[in-house]
């Protein structure tokens, strides 16, 4: 396990970057032009980024990004 200390400004920047990445992946997962293999890879990455975001987000903010990943397998 690794640990990192962030100041307030860095924490806000990390929050912003993770939210933007989650938004982009949600758009890609809903894109009908992408094939199943690509969506599966995006879904795996989404889970990782979501867990990172869950460490710094409030439950209310986190609920916006909670999706049923079974739909993307």
Give residue 1's pLDDT. 78
* pLDDT score at 70: 61
- Inter-CA distances, 70 with 10, 11, 14, 17, 31, Å: 33, 30, 27, 25, 16
User: Is the model's pLDDT at 68 over the cut of 80?
Assistant: no
pLDDT digits (tens, 9 = 90+) for 10-65: 999 999 999 999 999 999 999 999 999 999 999 999 999 999 999 999 999 999 99
CA 60 to chain centre: 15
Both tokens of 57, joined, read: 């987000």
- Residue 4 has what pLDDT? 87
Q: Residue 14's pLDDT is what?
A: 96
Domain ranges of the chain: 8-64
Which of 9, 17, 7, 2 shows the shortest CA–CA distance to 53?
17
Q: Are 6 and 14 in contact (CB under 8 A)?
A: yes
């Amino acid at each position: 396990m690794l640990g990192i200390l962030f100041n307030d400004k860095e924490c806000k920047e990390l929050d912003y970057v993770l939210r933007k990445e989650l938004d982009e992946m949600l758009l890609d997962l809903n894109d009908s032009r992408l094939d199943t293999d690509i969506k599966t890879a995006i879904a795996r990455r989404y889970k990782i980024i979501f867990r990172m975001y869950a460490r710094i987000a409030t439950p209310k903010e986190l609920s916006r990004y909670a999706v049923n990943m079974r739909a993307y397998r």
